[in-house]
């Protein structure tokens, strides 16, 4: 059965087609600059990358071209071969604790939550509508970044703010990257050969979050109402003293929107280093003796260690620490520094095992008190799995 994983942004559409249940990725690609000039798409198929420039006024045009390409490439003979389409949704609020089949009520709830994810939820609805039009016979599902975190207890997801804010304004911790935390924790349980586990999953990419996962369920996560909480990220500040915000708005005479941009786009590694949000550039800066790069990296690593230590206590121990996403899978030095910072718990990194990028690997020594692994994430596959399960 063929299942399509879709991630629609306001001007983009990423996709990956799978043969399920074999989990074979058949083809993937991205449509860019939808609704603006110079639109194009790229498709990866059979180890080749095809790029074409084409007019893309709407998401519907992108889907129509995609389906024509799939037929031209001989991947499908007709559209009805695609039985399910899974759409990634950033914010599911308290409504959704799992993947569901799309109906009008589901779309209305995603729309209602747009205030909490203004860049993402409306774009995803556009993607769903376009997909429904072009593939009316496929089962359309929605897979929420927040769903995996819905198992957090009330005392964990509430903020110590006026209690009514949660009910009246939906102010609470929702978390993000849930599809990734779910994928890597499920994979880790497979590796360990059991489900009754205490795991700390570190999704460290340009955006970054850490979750505490007990027996396959999330009990805490570092992102909050929005993705700008918890860890220091590429250009997001993560946890800060909340009162800095009104104080600096007064000092800089900026409005809330401008302040939001500073906290999300001009802070984090970029803000501290003054050089880049990309950890590769920070590593290069450090190799040249750049003090602010060294400082940014120290702060970045310190925050990760703090969260792992906090979740270790909250979980009452830990069976494995998992690194995933761009930095987690690829930055040898960041992983080493984090694990060295946990040596007081008996964690011991194995330099040789850790000298690897992007491959599922045990990176601690055999006598480490807690094993740490790289588990490359695969959010698209997780979306396809959930969608397939709703199609059979």
Given the residues 80, 111, 145, 215, the one annotated as active site:
145
Q: Is 184 exposed, middle or buried (0-12, 13-18, 19+ CB in 10 A)?
A: buried
Among 58, 151, 206, 389, contact with ligand AMP (rule: CB under 6 A) = 206
Catalytic site includes residue 215: no
Q: Is 309 exposed, middle or buried (0-12, 13-18, 19+ CB in 10 A)?
A: middle
Nearer to ligand AMP, 131 or 277 (CB): 277
Q: Of residues 242-301, which lie at the interface with ligand AMP (CB under 6 A)?
A: 278-280
Nearer to ligand AMP, 284 or 306 (CB): 284
Q: Kindly state whether residue 189 participates in binding ligand AMP, applying the rule CB under 6 A.
A: no
Beta-bridge mates of residue 6: 15, 87
Nearer to ligand AMP, 44 or 217 (CB): 44
The most distant pair of C-alpha atoms in the chain lies apart, rounded to whole Å, by 62
Q: Kindly state whether residue 140 participates in binding ligand AMP, applying the rule CB under 6 A.
A: no
From residue 311 to residue 330, what is the string marking binding to ligand AMP with x (rule CB under 6 A)? Answer: --------------xxx--x
Among 205, 268, 271, 376, contact with ligand AMP (rule: CB under 6 A) = 205
Under 8 Å between Cβ of 220 and 152? yes
**Least CB distance to ligand AMP at residue 197 (A):** 24
CA 376 to chain centre: 12
User: Which position's Cβ is nearest ligand AMP?
Assistant: 326
Nearer to ligand AMP, 311 or 323 (CB): 323
**What number of residues does the chain have?**
392
Sheet holding 361-362, edge to edge: 217-221, 208-214, 198-204, 320-324, 372-374, 361-362
Element at 331 (helix H, strand E): none
Q: Kindly state whether residue 234 participates in binding ligand AMP, applying the rule CB under 6 A.
A: yes
Element at 12 (helix H, strand E): none
Q: Kindly state whether residue 20 participates in binding ligand AMP, applying the rule CB under 6 A.
A: no
- Indicate the pairing of strand 2-8 with strand 82-89: parallel
Residues in contact with ligand AMP by CB under 6 A are 205-206, 234, 278-280, 325-327, 330-331, 357
Catalytic residue numbers, as ranges: 145
């Amino acid at each position: 059965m063929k299942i399509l994983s879709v991630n629609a942004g306001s001007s983009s559409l990423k996709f990956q087609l799978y043969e399920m249940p074999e989990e074979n990725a058949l083809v993937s690609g991205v449509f860019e600059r939808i609704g603006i000039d110079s639109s194009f798409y790229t498709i990866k198929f059979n180890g080749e990358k095809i790029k074409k420039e084409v007019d893309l006024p709407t998401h519907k045009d992108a889907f129509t071209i995609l389906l024509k390409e799939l037929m031209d490439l001989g991947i499908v003979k007709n559209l009805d071969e695609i039985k399910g389409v899974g759409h990634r949704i950033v914010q599911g609020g308290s409504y959704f604790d799992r993947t569901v089949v799309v109906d009008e009520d589901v779309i209305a709830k995603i729309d209602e939550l747009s205030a909490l994810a203004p860049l993402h939820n409306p774009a995803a609805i556009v993607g769903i509508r376009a997909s429904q039009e072009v593939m009316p016979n496929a089962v359309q599902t929605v897979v929420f970044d927040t769903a995996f975190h819905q198992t957090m207890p009330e005392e964990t997801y509430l903020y110590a703010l006026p209690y009514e804010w949660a009910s009246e304004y939906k102010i609470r911790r929702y978390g993000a990257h849930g599809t990734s935390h779910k994928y890597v924790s499920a994979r880790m349980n497979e590796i360990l050969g059991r489900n009754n586990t205490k795991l700390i999953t570190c999704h460290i990419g340009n955006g970054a979050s850490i979750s505490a996962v007990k027996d396959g369920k999330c009990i805490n996560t570092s992102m909050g109402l929005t993705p700008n909480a918890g860890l220091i990220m590429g250009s997001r500040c993560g946890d800060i003293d909340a009162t800095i915000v009104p104080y600096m708005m007064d000092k800089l005479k900026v409005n809330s929107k401008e302040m939001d941009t500073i906290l999300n786009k001009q802070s984090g590694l970029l803000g501290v280093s003054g050089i880049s949000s990309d950890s590769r550039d920070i590593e290069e800066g450090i190799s040249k003796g750049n003090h602010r790069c060294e400082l940014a990296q120290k702060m970045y690593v310190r925050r990760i260690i703090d969260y792992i230590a906090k979740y270790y206590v909250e979980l009452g121990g830990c069976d494995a620490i998992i690194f995933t996403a761009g930095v987690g899978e690829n930055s040898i030095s960041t992983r080493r520094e984090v694990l060295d910072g946990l040596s007081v718990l008996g964690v011991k990194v194995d330099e040789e095992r850790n000298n690897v990028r992007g491959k599922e690997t045990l990176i601690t020594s055999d006598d480490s008190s807690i094993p740490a692994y790289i588990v490359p994430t695969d959010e698209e596959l997780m979306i396809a799995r959930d969608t397939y399960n709703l199609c059979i």
